[in-house]
Amino acid sequence: MSRPGALLSRIPEFQTRQSIKIAPNTSVPVTDRLLRLIDSAPFQRLRRIRQLSMSDQVFPSATHTRFSHALGVYSNVIDYLRQLDQFPQFYNSFSEQDYLGIMLAGLLHDLGHYPCSHQLDHLPAFPAHEELTIGIINGDIQLDGVNIADLLHEHFDLAPVNITRFLGPADELESHHRLMKQLIDSPIDADKCDYLPRDSYFCGLDFGTGFDRDRFIQNLIPSGDHLCVHEKGLMSAERFQLARYWMYRSVYWGHTVRALITMLSTAVDYLQTDDLGPDWADRLLHFNDHNFLNWLHGHARPPGQELIEMVHHRREPFKRVFTISFHHKPKTYQLLQGEGLRKTITDELRNWASEHGLELKPHHLIWDVPPLYKSRTWESFPIRLNSGEEVPIARESPVIEALSNAFLHGVRKIRLFSHPSFARLRKENLDTCPDLADFLNN
């Protein structure tokens, strides 16, 4: 049997007085060996990858990078481990390698991100950033001749698998490792605990900064293969979930941000993929946000070039034509999941525009259709009551119960965006322009 703090005492990162300051108001503990990873070319590359890619077109100060985010997640993992290490169930289940593995998973979890990857890596021509991350950590992908696996062996005496297992599917892990993975991949993980306040701060908003981070972490409890929050931390947990809802509604799924993202992903449909070649993944990892969009402009057919010019060179976002929320019109929302109805609508709108002297091309009317959500319920977590009973947070908190439906059915909207010329024509002829109801009643 071990004791509280025994594992922490063996790991220099928990004893160090060295630190790096990052906004907002965070001191990140570092050691010389950790700096070997941070100063390496694969990690320094993250200085050139923006955390929110297109969002700076709406929130001009949102130019923060995945470099500072990765440092923030690592710092949060340190604090999560300090809290959870108080519980025998936790510290008796893990080794020093496990603690190091999750710490470095927090630090390195975004190594495979390339520009706009969250907006593009679901498209056929673009690799999943998670696969690239694992490849870099394993040493299969080497950037500028640096092998991260060698650095891990040399400075941490750690095999890459001790890190990458926390970045893959949870169902492939043993129970205690599923618990450890929840530190960086769960509804209350150290990743969200960093990006919500960080993104909010750099967007100039206070939506993601209002939860009490310290009290939230101080009430984390290990339970079986998952994390839960003691009821003393219920209000901070509620605020954590509210922060997530507000940030999705105002930033991540805000209509202008989604217009820009939809224009970008549509432009990629016109990419001349014959030019990509076998070294495409390596080239992607060497782009920054600006030269990637310039490259994309030079390698897309004319419709894609026009969209990139509007997104990147002129800041001329498309305008909303229709917006449908599930909770307002569930049947309409479900109907619009089908591509056939969407094509019927855009064809009719193009015909109407043509009758009024405006020739629209197919890429001038584009749909933003969220994929079917991965769950019928918003990701939840349990609250540990003083009695020792664990209950879903929605059962203990009517705020969260309402928030779950609001997030699933209100934030993720189906939208039709149009070229500004069509928006102007529609505004001038609103009485004659077809309405969405016209198509649904036919």
Smallest CA-to-CA distance from 142 within 234, 40, 211, 227 is with: 40
pLDDT at 135 over 90: yes
Q: What's the pLDDT score for residue 372?
A: 65
Q: Which residue has the higher pLDDT, 374 or 247?
A: 247
Across the chain, mean pLDDT equals 92
pLDDT band at residue 369 under the 50/70/90 scheme: very high
Residue 328 is predicted with a pLDDT of 80
Number of H helices, E strands in the chain: 24, 9
pLDDT band for 374, please (50, 70, 90 cuts): very low
For the sheet containing 390-392, what is the strand order?
A: 220-223, 226-230, 382-384, 390-392
Helices (H), 300-419: 302-308, 330-335, 339-355, 393-396, 398-406
CA atoms of 168 and 105, how far apart (whole Å) = 11
- pLDDT category at 210 given cuts 50, 70, 90 is confident
pLDDT of residue 100 exceeding 90, the answer is yes
pLDDT at 5 over 60: yes
Has residue 412 got a pLDDT over 90? no
What's residue 403's pLDDT?
A: 81
**What mean pLDDT comes out for the span 232-254?**
92
pLDDT of residue 407: 76
pTM of the model: 0.94
pLDDT tens digits, residue range 148-207? 999 999 999 999 999 999 999 988 899 999 999 999 999 999 999 999 999 999 999 998
pLDDT in tens, 253-312: 999 999 999 999 999 999 988 878 889 999 999 999 999 999 999 999 999 999 999 999
Whole-number Cα distances in Å, 257 to 243, 261, 320, 376: 18, 6, 12, 25
pLDDT of residue 377: 53
Pairing state between β 414-418 and 19-22: unpaired
**342/310 Cα distance (integer angstroms):** 24
For residues 126 and 118, the answer to whether their CB atoms sit within 8 Å is no
Query: What is the distance between the alpha carbons of residues 334 and 323, in angstroms, rounded to a whole number?
Result: 13
What local confidence, expressed as pLDDT, does residue 375 receive?
39
Average pLDDT over every residue of 43-66: 96
For residue range 225-239, list pLDDT tens digits in order: 999 999 999 999 999
Share of the chain above pLDDT 70, in %: 97
Highest mean pLDDT among 57-71, 333-347, 425-439: 57-71
* Whole-angstrom distance, CA of residue 17 vs CA of residue 78: 14
- Grade residue 329 by pLDDT with cuts at 50, 70 and 90: confident
Domains and CATH numbers, the chain: 6-255 (1.10.3210.10)
Local confidence band at 373 (pLDDT 50, 70, 90 cut-offs): low
pLDDT band at 442 (very low <50, low <70, confident <90, very high): low
373 DSSP 8-state letter:
P
